[in-house]
Amino acid sequence: GRHTPFFAGYKPQFYFRTTDVTGQVHELFGDGGAKAEMCMPGDNVTMEIDLGEKSVAMETGLRFAVREGGRTIGSGTVTEIIE
């Protein structure tokens, strides 16, 4: 995984099933829903991400991997889809 924090604006790869797409982290929220400035290694956060114009088949509950430089640095679950 990562050894340094990341902030809003970070652009990792998100791997959904067999689709790898670059997305941008817009917002980070910590425990209790409070807005977070950064995500430290080991933190559990809620992120609002933008996948750009790429169309990705997904539904709530879908698991995904967060990747950087070909390595998996995190994992998550889709909780809400904002069109």
- Predicted pLDDT of residue 1: 76
pTM of the model: 0.90
pLDDT tens for each residue of 16-61: 999 999 999 999 999 889 999 999 999 999 999 999 888 889 999 9
For the chain, domain boundaries: 6-47+57-77
The CATH architecture to which 6-47+57-77 belongs is Beta Barrel (2.40)
- Predicted pLDDT of residue 72: 94
- In this prediction, residues 65-70 reach a mean pLDDT of 94
- Tokens 């956060």, residue? 45
Q: Residue 39 and residue 34: Cα distance in Å, rounded?
A: 13
- Predicted pLDDT of residue 28: 98
- Predicted pLDDT of residue 2: 86
